[in-house]
Amino acid sequence: MTRPTQWLHPQREPVRPLSAATVLLVRDAPDAPGGLQVLMTRRSAKASFAPGAYVFPGGGIDALDADPATHAACARRPGQSDEQLTQAVAAIRESFEELGILLARHEGGRPADAADIAALDRHAPFAAQCAVRGLRLAADEVFVLARWTGDRDLPRRFDVPFLIARMPEGQTPVADEAEQFEPVWVRPHEALERHAAGGFFMIFPTIRTLERLTKFDGADAVLAACASGTPLWTSCPRAGLLAGKEARYMEDEMPYGELALVCPDGQIVHPLDWQSERPVPLLKNLQRLTAPNPGVMTGPGTNSYLVGEPATGYIAIDPGPADSQHLEKLWRAASGDIRMIVCTHSHPDHSPGSQPLQALCVQAGRSAPPILGLASKPTARAHSQFTPDRALQDGELLTLTGQALEGEITHTLQVVYTPGHAANHLCLLLVEDALLFSGDHILNGSTTVIDPPDGNMADYLDSLDRLDALCAEHGVEFILPAHGYVLGDARGAIARLKAHRLAREAKVIAALEALPGGSMEDWVAHAYADVPPRIWPVAQRSLLAHIERIRALGPGNN
**Measured between alpha carbons, how far is 161 from 159 in angstroms, rounded to an integer?**
7
pLDDT(33) > 80: no
pLDDT(558) > 60: no
pLDDT the model gives residue 557:
53
Phi-psi label, residue 223: left if phi above 0, alpha if psi -120 to 50, beta otherwise? alpha
Tell me the one-letter amino acid at 471.
C
Mean pLDDT of 114-120: 94
- Beta-strand relationship, 390-391 and 371-373: parallel
Mean pLDDT of 37-51: 88
Pick the CATH number of 274-487 from 3.40.630.30, 3.60.15.10, 1.10.760.10, 3.90.1300.10: 3.60.15.10
pLDDT tier, 34 (very low <50, low <70, confident <90, very high otherwise): low
Q: What are the tens digits of pLDDT across the range 172-227?
A: 999 988 888 899 999 999 999 999 999 899 999 999 999 999 999 999 999 999 99
Phi-psi label, residue 66: left if phi above 0, alpha if psi -120 to 50, beta otherwise? alpha
Mean pLDDT of 324-352: 97
- H or E element, residue 58: strand 58-60
Specify the CATH class of 18-236 in words.
alpha beta
Mean pLDDT of 395-399: 98
Q: What are the tens digits of pLDDT across the range 361-371?
A: 999 999 999 99
Q: What is the DSSP letter of 309?
A: E
**Measured between alpha carbons, how far is 488 from 491 in angstroms, rounded to an integer?**
9
Domain ranges of the chain: 18-236, 274-487, 501-553
Reading across the β-sheet that carries 478-481, which strands appear in turn?
397-404, 407-417, 426-430, 435-439, 478-481
pLDDT tier, 35 (very low <50, low <70, confident <90, very high otherwise): confident
pLDDT tier, 468 (very low <50, low <70, confident <90, very high otherwise): very high
Q: What are the tens digits of pLDDT across the range 407-417?
A: 899 999 999 99
pLDDT the model gives residue 178:
83
Segment 208-211 long-range contacts (CB within 8 Å, at least 24 positions apart): 208/235, 208/250, 209/24, 209/145, 209/146, 209/162, 210/38
**Measured between alpha carbons, how far is 464 from 226 in angstroms, rounded to an integer?**
33
Mean pLDDT of 41-68: 90
- H or E element, residue 210: helix 204-213
**Measured between alpha carbons, how far is 88 from 93 in angstroms, rounded to an integer?**
9
Residue 107: helix, strand or coil by DSSP?
A: coil
pLDDT the model gives residue 179:
82
Averaged confidence pLDDT in the chain: 95
Residue 28: helix, strand or coil by DSSP?
A: strand
18-236 shares its CATH topology with 274-487: no
Least confident of 48-52, 164-168, 452-456, 545-549: 48-52
Q: What are the tens digits of pLDDT across the range 267-281?
A: 999 999 999 999 999
Mean pLDDT of 330-347: 97
pLDDT tier, 45 (very low <50, low <70, confident <90, very high otherwise): confident
pLDDT(1) > 90: no
Cβ contacts of 331 within 8 Å, gap of 6 or more: 338, 357, 360, 361, 364
Mean pLDDT of 66-72: 94
pLDDT the model gives residue 32:
64
Tell me the one-letter amino acid at 107.
E
Contact between 487 and 444 (Cβ < 8 Å)? yes
pLDDT(458) > 90: yes
